[in-house]
Chains A and B, each alone.
Chain A
Amino acid sequence: MTTGKSVPAIGFLTVTEHAEHGLFGGYLILNVSGRPLEFHCTAPLKPSRAQEILYGPTLRPFLFGEQIGQTLLAKAKVKPLLVCTDATAMLAAREFSDVPLLLVQTDGMELKTANLSEPFALGCRKVFTSASYDEDQRNVLDKWSTAHADSLDLLEPFTRIREALEEAQKTVRPTTVPTAA
């Protein structure tokens, strides 16, 4: 779990999907100037057939939020002011953290089925919180105003995470973690 180190930082949490290996999770923590402080990535995760059947439409929130998101958030040493994600299913990770979790809108993002708050602007991006956590929006805006992070583009770090995950895949031969018997 986090140590609550008092460095103004912002977390970026996402998942990349690999056709053969499955899901790779990445969590990048940046200071407000955009410099990396921590990076955590998971071994690939592949749902079993049983999980696919039994979880049905809740499978992605389970894998993204509970399995990957929760695990990654718990590994960080620095406690960020807020965490951003570009994957709707990752909002399920909010349940396992006391840090506000934001969904940053990307081009072509499917929002209809998601349980989201009204959108609001943060820097140059449109963001949402989970509708189940009403207070997150106010908390985020308060923290943002003190963070002096306006120069940070909240979508850009996800590109870095994806490149880092690719780099890690090139270097380390991945071992898929079995998730079901």
Chain B
Amino acid sequence: MFDWQPTNLLSASTWDVRDHCVALEANNLSEILSSQAFPSVESPDLWVLSPKAVALKIPRTAPKVTSFTFPEAPAWVQAQPPIPGAKPQAVKTMSPDAIGEESSKKPTITRIKPPGDVIKLEDRLYYVLQPPLETLIKSDALHFPFEPFPYQYQGVAFLYPRYAAVLADEMGLGKTMQSITAIRMLLRSGELRSVLLICPKPLVTNWKREFTQWAPEIPLSIIEGDASRRHWLWQQDGVPVKIANYELLMRDKEEVLGEGMHFDLVMLDEAQRIKNINNTTSEIVRAIPRTRNWALTGTPIENSPDDIVGIFEFLSPGYMRTGMPAKRLGELARDYILRRTKEMVLTDMPPKMFRDAELDLSPEQRATYEIAENEGVINLNELGDSITIQHVFELVLRLKQICNFDPATGTSSKLERLEADLEEVAASGRKAIVFSQWVHSIEIIAKKLERLGVLQYHGKIPSKQRDPILKQFKEDKSKHVILMSYGAGSVGLNLQFCEYVFLFDRWWNPAIEDQAINRAHRIGVAGPVTVTRMLALSTIEERINQVLEHKRELFNSIMNQTGAHADLRLTQQQIFGLFNLRTPKGPIKQAA
């Protein structure tokens, strides 16, 4: 047998069977080989068979990096200083095994998203990379008196990055809290340094109270007092938030538009005040030097789609034009307006129940009413083409007053019903708000219902007495009813401890009625709110109610951006149609 001795083939440069490859040590075979002539063997050059190392170069090109650096806000960057005297908090340690259960509870996260009009990538990333609002609050940077609702976080996240914004939540959803929190966060992050809040005069104290509750650390300056004091207040530096009212802007025009005056943010409460671009207040507001513009309103469209154009003239002049189709206005406004209704966000909020008290007039009222209407219509017809809407309004108001009380005898089917209902409210220890258009009606009701513990809140009550009245109504258990005029009591007040609202007569505009009702039906309300709408049958009130319902439907169609074109003003035909009057030729002299 052969005995194989392997040798290194690759080291050979020539080929010789005797020297390489295998050594054959078999006796017989050796003999045979030695006895025979050895064949000549050709030796090829095996260099060509040896492998060649090929070096593959794999370049390690570092990827290109784009870097963004964000401004450091000292208040946020630095860890919160420990509260003096407080025990140092131990680091919460947790077993890794327990983590799975803990982290499976997914917390609500509200993120700030860059608005569509922020173009620069660095600016967009600044907002994208901000922490969720919940994280900021948990990090002890902000304290809240109570946990905001998720939709309120969303409202803050909406306002925070915007230079032009309308927060148009329905009354009672907390526009005040949301805007204060957004301002607070922007002040803390250094993005805002000076804010001017403009609101109706009766709401100044309300705003002051809300700032104290939601952002107690922010110094405020209320612009009030005589001219020299106001001058000093306007010029005051170091107070980040100034609160002024619309009424004094006219007087302080020179101050607010003066040289060197500039605000990082001007925020308008009840911004529907500037819907008419030609009114002086609107002109002054639009001229204030500012960087950011926010508007708060529960009723961005009160009468006409053009109302929203007026507000946008403040937010972004020229962005919208009067007469644009409703659909186009809706598209343009989409990224700038946030509107939620209670039905949308507070699914677990106690309901608002409407109860229409449809009443027949007392015989005395009916007799007076018939005479007044018949004579009124005859007089209007006699006016011919010289008739104006003002003439029609005068008759409407006259008839509505008769629906409240008979002027000759003082009888009132509404008051009788109201008295019965309020006795029940008082007996059960609850509280009610009664709204009327007229102070005169309120005074009559107050006199009649004195024994039920009635308070009054209307234009005749001096401003300084109003807050104490509200406080008394809230705290005094013997006071069960507050009588309010729509003008004084429909906006900005928090009366969620009331469970009953009575509309003794109806306002022209359903939005104003909603605002009034929402004084009681708002966040914090403990139980359902019952709204009683009083209506005298077969009178002008019933006819107006039909128009109001129609307007309400139109409002919803615009805000839902269905694209329906709707002019919400009472048309010439509608107003004259209240009395089946012929529409005169020529322009209407006064708008509804």
The interface of chain A, by Cβ under 8 A from chain B, is 7-8, 25, 28, 30-45, 48, 50-51, 54, 66-68, 70-72, 75, 77, 105, 119-121, 123-126, 144-145, 147-148, 150-153, 155-157, 160, 163-164, 167-168, 171-172, 175, 177-181
Contact = CB atoms under 8 A, between A and B. Distances in A.
20 contacts: A7-B77, A8-B79, A31-B76, A34-B131, A39-B67, A42-B64, A67-B62, A121-B95, A121-B99, A124-B103, A126-B99, A126-B100, A144-B91, A153-B135, A160-B129, A172-B66, A175-B64, A177-B61, A179-B58, A180-B59
Contacts, number: 158
A171 B124 contact: yes
A7 B73 CA distance: 12
Given A35-B77, A37-B69, A151-B140, A71 B131 contact: no
Nearest to B135: A34
B131 A35 contact: yes
Contacts of B98: 121
Interface in B34-73: 56-70, 72-73
Given A7-B77, A34-B136, A126-B100, A150 B59 contact: no
A181 B57 CA distance: 8
Interface in B106-152: 109, 111, 114, 121, 124-126, 128-132, 135-136, 138-141
B72 A7 contact: yes
Interface in B80-101: 80, 91-96, 98-100
Among the interface residues A25, A51, A179, which one has the most CB atoms of the partner chain B within 10 A?
A: A179
B348 interface: no
9 cross-chain pairs, A with B, having the tightest CB-CB distances, nearest first: A34-B131, A42-B63, A36-B129, A151-B138, A43-B64, A119-B96, A121-B94, A126-B99, A151-B139
A75 B65 CA distance: 8
A51 B60 CA distance: 11
Given A71-B65, A72-B65, A156 B96 contact: no
Contact residues of B: prevailing secondary structure: loop
A160 B128 contact: yes
A72 B129 CA distance: 17
Given A33-B141, A124-B103, A126-B99, A71 B72 contact: no
B129 A148 contact: no
A39 to B, nearest CB: 4
A75 B67 contact: yes
Contacts of A121: 93-96, 98-99
Contacts of A157: 131
Nearest to B93: A121
Given A33-B136, A156-B135, 19 more contacts: A8-B79, A33-B131, A36-B126, A39-B67, A39-B125, A42-B64, A42-B66, A66-B60, A67-B63, A70-B62, A121-B93, A121-B98, A126-B96, A156-B109, A160-B130, A164-B125, A168-B125, A177-B61, A179-B61
B382 interface: no
B259 interface: no
Contacts of A175: 64
B102 interface: yes
How many of chain B's residues touch chain A, expressed as a range?
Answer: 35 or more
Contacts of B66: 40-43, 168, 172
Nearest to A24: B63
A36 B73 CA distance: 10
A161 B217 CA distance: 33
B121 A171 contact: yes
Nearest to A7: B77
Contacts of B94: 121, 124
Contacts of A126: 96, 99-100, 103
A44 B63 CA distance: 7
B67 A40 contact: yes
B491 to A, nearest CB: 36
Contacts of B60: 66-67, 179
A34 B79 contact: no
B136 A181 contact: no
Contacts of A35: 70, 73, 76-77, 130-131, 189
A30 B73 CA distance: 12
A53 to B, nearest CB: 10
Among the interface residues B111, B128, B130, which one has the most CB atoms of the partner chain A within 10 A?
A: B128
A41 B135 CA distance: 24
B99 A147 contact: no
A136 B126 CA distance: 31
B123 to A, nearest CB: 11
Contact of A167 (B76, B96, B121): B121
Contacts of B56: 50, 54
B59 A156 contact: no
A171 to B, nearest CB: 5
Contact of B63 (A71, A155, A168): A71
B63 A33 contact: no
A148 to B, nearest CB: 5
A41 B65 contact: yes
Contacts of B132: 156
A119 B91 CA distance: 18
Interface in B130-180: 130-132, 135-136, 138-141
Given A119-B96, A167-B121, A33 B139 contact: yes
Contacts of A180: 58-59
